[in-house]
Amino acid sequence: MTKNLCNNVFKLNKAKVKKIHMFTGLVLGLSTFTGSLTAYAESFYTIKVVIDDGKEYELKTPKKTVSKFLKYEDIDLSPEDKINVNPDEVIDEDMSIKINRAYTIKLTVDGKLNVYKARDMKVSDLLKRENINIYEKDIVSVPVDTLIDKDMDIEVNRAEKVKFVVDNKEEIPFIVNNARVGVAVNEFMEETGKQVYLEEGQSSAADVKDGMIIKLASLKEEIKVTKQEIPFETKTVENSNLLEGTTNVKTKGENGIKEIKTKEIYKKDELQSQEIIEEKVTKQPITEIIEKGTKKKLNTIKTEKGTFVVNNKINMKSTAYTAGMESTGKKPGDEGYGLTASGMKAKKGIVAVDTSIIPFGTELYIEGYGYAIAGDTGSAIKGNKIDVFLDDYEDAKKYGVRNVNVYVLGDKVA
């Protein structure tokens, strides 16, 4: 274009030189026409021309309008070219004309090539201008909101319209683009939610053709519910009231139950896939709680009054006494007869002790005698000596003096 413009400039300058030579001859020969020559020279206008933001050219023209100037300079404009002035506008001195040539665009639709001129518009505008509609799933190689650029190639790949026939009865129109049959079937399942497979005799690798009929068969779907036991857990807790080494089942454990809902897909009778769609606990498991005893084993002794913890065992010299004259020097009717030093009534089960060893009121168990309470003292009962009360003097004599184990009792446990 610049070359054409330069040629036009050269052509214009050559014409101007020729005219100027003619004018010079006339001036030399016909000085009487000086006024007319001056008026004619003044009818030329200086025009600035820029094409496609290139070099600016300054031209002189006798033409009155822009369109006549462009024709005079052999500058052709296509309808898609952009010019900054109205072609019918009257030329002014130092007018600037800017021309932006339209781009040549190659547009291929399903393999058919067309060439268009366009500028300052989006791809979508060009498609609309040329009445090229874009339908569902048609693929345009260039985003339609892209601005038209120089030497742009645009390709429109039309989608194929096919028909799926399901179970030889349901016909469903469908649109795919540049796909193989297997891909088209997958798209069909995704968009419709149907579970189908390609019937035998058709290739999933075949290219989809416009108007193709594809036969499908439905996959069989089954929902199954199964029950599953949830094993119970076991928890051990300490119990200080249980003897060490013993256990007790406080709460018996029970298994829980869980319902599992599964979706299974079959192709004919062959399982294709299995998916758990819901899990629900219908019965919570019960934790088994086992108590573990931490109570230390105690030394106990069984007496006629119950079973007691033994706090201490003392080997002592034991004698026996009665309330009569032989032991106390008192007879019935005497003051203090039948009373012990602690104020308790003397009877079987009351024994005399050294209170520095065994305090009054201490419960005891004495070998060969039984359950007793420390409730009396005696002048001869010092240290590890104990005197047990008997009702009959003869029995006391028979008891004699013996070494016995005396058990100091604690808490009653049974």
More confident residue, 25 or 210: 210
Q: Is the distance from CB of 358 to CB of 313 less than 8 angstroms?
A: no
Segments of 268-369 assigned E as strands? 270-283, 288-295, 300-303, 306-321, 350-353, 363-366
Neighbours of 227 (CB within 10 A): 10
Tell whether 204 and 165 lie within a shared domain. yes
Tell whether 56 and 118 lie within a shared domain. no
Distances in Å between the Cα of 27 and the Cα atoms of 22, 30, 61, 188, 194 are: 9, 5, 22, 90, 97
Tokens of 373: 């309470």
Q: Is the distance from CB of 134 to CB of 156 less than 8 angstroms?
A: yes
pLDDT band of 121, cuts 50, 70, 90: very high
Radius of gyration (C-alpha) of the chain in whole angstroms: 63
Half-sphere exposure of 162 (CA within 13 A, CB side): 26
Q: What is the pLDDT of residue 64?
A: 87
Runs of H (alpha helix) within 286-350? 325-328
First-to-last alpha carbon distance for the chain, in angstroms, is 124
State the chain's mean pLDDT as an integer.
86
- Residue-wise pLDDT for 320-340, tens only, equals 999 888 888 888 888 888 899
How far, rounded to the nearest angstrom, does the alpha carbon of residue 180 sit from its chain's CA centroid?
Answer: 35
Pairing, β 370-376 against β 350-353: parallel
Tell whether 86 and 112 lie within a shared domain. no
Place of tokens 């100091």: 408
Q: What is the pLDDT of residue 94?
A: 83
pLDDT at 399 over 80: yes
Q: What is the pLDDT of residue 244?
A: 84
CA distance 95 to 223: 83
CA distance 381 to 74: 155
Tell whether 315 and 394 lie within a shared domain. yes
pTM for this entry = 0.44
Segments of 141-269 assigned E as strands? 153-157, 160-166, 170-176, 196-198, 213-218, 220-230, 234-243, 247-251, 256-267
Runs of H (alpha helix) within 106-180? 123-129
Q: What is the pLDDT of residue 29?
A: 35
Tell whether 88 and 136 lie within a shared domain. no
Q: Domain boundary residue among 275, 294, 313?
A: 294
Report the CATH number at residue 32.
Answer: 3.10.20
Q: Domain boundary residue among 294, 313, 336?
A: 294
Place of tokens 């004259």: 325
- Residue-wise pLDDT for 30-83, tens only, equals 333 344 444 444 578 888 899 887 888 888 888 889 999 899 888 888 888 899
pLDDT at 20 over 60: no
More confident residue, 58 or 297: 58
Q: Domain boundary residue among 100, 122, 140?
A: 100
Q: How many domains does the chain have?
A: 5
Tell whether 148 and 210 lie within a shared domain. no
Average pLDDT over residues 364-379: 94
* Residue range of the domain that includes 277: 223-294
Q: What is the pLDDT of residue 394?
A: 92
Q: What is the pLDDT of residue 1?
A: 38
pLDDT band of 13, cuts 50, 70, 90: very low
More confident residue, 60 or 214: 214
Q: What is the pLDDT of residue 275?
A: 93
Pairing, β 139-140 against β 153-157: antiparallel
CA distance 84 to 53: 12
Neighbouring residues of 80: CB distance < 8 A, sequence distance ≥ 6: 102, 117, 118, 119
Tell whether 148 and 190 lie within a shared domain. no
Q: Which residues of 123-161 are buried (b: 16+ CB within 10 A; e: fewer)?
A: beebbeeeebebeebbebebeeeeebeeebebebbbbbb
Tell whether 326 and 242 lie within a shared domain. no
Tokens of 73: 């300079």
Tell whether 245 and 228 lie within a shared domain. yes
Tell whether 49 and 11 lie within a shared domain. yes
Tell whether 145 and 240 lie within a shared domain. no
Tell whether 399 and 320 lie within a shared domain. yes
Q: What is the pLDDT of residue 141?
A: 93
Report the CATH number at residue 285.
Answer: 2.20.230.10
Report the CATH number at residue 120.
Answer: 3.10.20.90
